[in-house]
Structure 1
Amino acid sequence: MHEIGVMFEVVKTVEKVAKQNGVTKIDTVVLQIGELSSMIPRYIEACYPAAVDGTLLQETKLKIEILPGNGLCRECNKVFNLIENKNKCPHCGSNHWELLCGREFKIKEIIAC
């Protein structure tokens, strides 16, 4: 499970940003995770308490937003969800597509108290 190491890095980054901006208390950290990311949201949630223990983020809430894994069909130029459609365009049946989004892992927002 590589999520714990990633979460320690997220905590360090959030603490650094908070310090640079004079923030002393944080309410919520919002992460965006793509459906096609190697990060598993439930593991991120499970790791969060250990990663924030003893830090500025100890009392914070974690919010995760899941971003869709969308592709653009190279044949008909329609956007579709890759997971829901098993990597096949539901409009024309093509397997030729370009990835638009879904591999993201971002700190979207740090909400201060």
Structure 2
Amino acid sequence: MHELGVVIEVVKVVENFAARNNLTKIDTVVLQIGELSSMIPKYVENCYPAAVDGTMLEGTKLKIEILPGNAMCKSCNKVYNLLQNRKECPYCKSKHWELLSGKEFLIKQIVAY
């Protein structure tokens, strides 16, 4: 499970951001995870308490937003969700597409109080 190592890095990034901006209390960390990324949101949630233990983020909330795995069909230029359509364009049935989103793993927001 590589999620723990990645979440530990997220904690370090947030702590560095807080230090640079003189933030002493963080309430919530909001992550965006693409549904096609290698990160499994449930595992990230499960790892978070261990990753923040003993840090300034201990006791903070984690919010995860899932970003859709969208592609644009190279045949008809329509946008569709790859997972929902099994990688086949629902409009023209082509299997030739260009990935638009879904592999992201981002810190979207740090909510301080």
TM-score when normalising by structure 1:
0.99
Question: Matched residues, percent identical?
Answer: 69
Alignment partner, residue 100 of structure 2: 100
Aligned residue pair count: 113
- Deviation per CA, 1:44-90: give whole Å up to 9, x if none: 00000000000010010000000000000000000000000000000
Displaced runs of 4 or more, over 6 A: none
Gaps (5+ residues) in structure 2? Answer: none
**TM-score normalised according to structure 2 size:** 0.99
* Partner in structure 2 of residue 110 of structure 1: 110
Partners of 2:79 and 2:20 in 1: CA distance: 40
2:80 aligned partner, one-letter code? F
CA distance in 2, matches of 1:79, 1:31: 24
Counterpart in 2 of 1:91?
Answer: 91
Structure 1 residue runs of 5 or longer lacking an equivalent are none
State how 1:17-28 maps to structure 2 within 5 Å: 17-28=17-28
Name the amino acid aligned to 1:24.
T
Partner of 2:52: 52
- Counterpart Cα distance in 2 of 1:18 and 1:83: 37
- C-alpha distance in 1 between matches for 2:102 and 2:54: 32
SS in 2 for 1:8: helix
